[in-house]
Amino acid sequence: MVLDQAWSLLLVASAASLLPGVSRMVRLPAIVLEILFGVVLGKSLLDLEFSGEWLPFLAELGFLLLMFQAGMEIDFTMLRHKSRARLLFHVLIFSITFALAMAAAFFLGRGVFLGLVLTTTSLGLVVPTLKEVGLSRQPMGQAIIIAATLADFLTLLAITFYVLWHQHGLDWRFLGPLPLFIGFGVLLRAGRLWAWWHPNKAARLLAPEDSQELGVRLSLALLFLFVALSELVGLEPVLGAFMGGALLSIIFPEKAHLESKLSGIGYGFLIPLFFIHVGMQFDLTNLLSPELIWFTLQLLGLAMAVKILPSILFVFIGIPIKRAVNAGFLLSSRLSLIIVAATIGLKYEFITEQYKDAIILLAVFTCLLGPSVFKLLHRPTGQEPPLAGAEKRMATGRRNPDRIAAGKS
116 vs 163: CA distance, rounded Å: 11
Residue 408 lies in a domain: no
Which region among 176-180, 249-253, 329-333 has the lowest average model confidence (pLDDT)? 176-180
Residue 294 lies in a domain: yes
pLDDT digits (tens, 9 = 90+) for 334-374: 877 888 888 889 988 898 888 998 998 898 888 888 888 88
Q: If we measure between CA atoms, which residue out of 290, 331, 298 comes closest to residue 148? A: 331
Q: If we measure between CA atoms, which residue out of 63, 58, 59, 68 comes closest to residue 226? A: 68
CA 356 to chain centroid: 18
CB distance 59 to 312 below 8 Å: no
CA Rg value for the chain: 22
- Burial profile 32-65: b = 16 or more Cβ within 10 angstroms, e = fewer: bbbbbbbbebbbbeeebebeeeebeebbebbbbb
| Count of residues in the chain | 409
- For 32, 63, 117, the CA distances from 132, given in Å and listed in that order, are 19, 26, 27
CB distance 339 to 118 below 8 Å: no
Residue 29 lies in a domain: yes
Report helix, strand or coil for 3: strand
Number of domains in the chain: 1
73 vs 67: CA distance, rounded Å: 10
Q: Work out the average pLDDT over 277-305.
A: 88
Q: Quote the pLDDT of residue 15.
A: 87
69 vs 146: CA distance, rounded Å: 17
Beta-carbon contacts of residue 140 (< 8 Å; ≥ 6 apart)? 314, 319, 323, 327, 384, 385
Range with top average pLDDT, 242-251, 255-264, 322-331: 322-331
Identity (one letter) of the amino acid at 317? I
Q: Work out the average pLDDT over 32-36.
A: 84
Range with top average pLDDT, 42-46, 327-331, 336-340: 327-331
At residue 2, what are phi and psi to the nearest 5 degrees?
Answer: -95, 125
Domain extent at residue 378: 2-398
Report helix, strand or coil for 126: helix
| Mean of per-residue pLDDT scores for the chain | 82
For residues 311 and 238, which has the higher predicted lDDT (pLDDT)? Answer: 311
Q: If we measure between CA atoms, which residue out of 126, 124, 140 comes closest to residue 379? A: 140
CB distance 354 to 293 below 8 Å: no
Residue 239 lies in a domain: yes
Q: Work out the average pLDDT over 7-32.
A: 83
- CATH number of the domain within which 130 lies: 1.20.1530.20
Residue 161 lies in a domain: yes
Is the pLDDT at 399 greater than 80, yes or no?
Answer: no
Residue 407 lies in a domain: no
Report helix, strand or coil for 102: helix
Residue 403 lies in a domain: no
Q: Quote the pLDDT of residue 381.
A: 57
Residue 126 lies in a domain: yes
Q: Work out the average pLDDT over 188-213.
A: 84
pLDDT digits (tens, 9 = 90+) for 111-149: 899 999 999 988 777 877 887 787 877 878 878 888 888
pLDDT digits (tens, 9 = 90+) for 158-167: 888 888 888 7
- For 20, 163, 338, the CA distances from 55, given in Å and listed in that order, are 20, 26, 21
**pLDDT exceeding 90 applies to what percent of the chain?**
19
Q: Quote the pLDDT of residue 312.
A: 94
pTM over the 0.85 mark: no
Q: Quote the pLDDT of residue 305.
A: 95
Q: Quote the pLDDT of residue 385.
A: 44
Q: 337: buried, middle or exposed (CB in 10 Å: 19+, 13-18, 0-12)?
A: buried
331 vs 336: CA distance, rounded Å: 14
CB distance 300 to 365 below 8 Å: yes
Q: Quote the pLDDT of residue 404.
A: 37
Mind giving me the DSSP string for 287-329? G-SHHHHHHHHHHHHHHHHHHHHHHGGGGGGT--HHHHHHHHH
Q: 274: buried, middle or exposed (CB in 10 Å: 19+, 13-18, 0-12)?
A: buried
Q: How crowded is the C-beta side of 126, counted as CA atoms within 13 Å?
A: 32
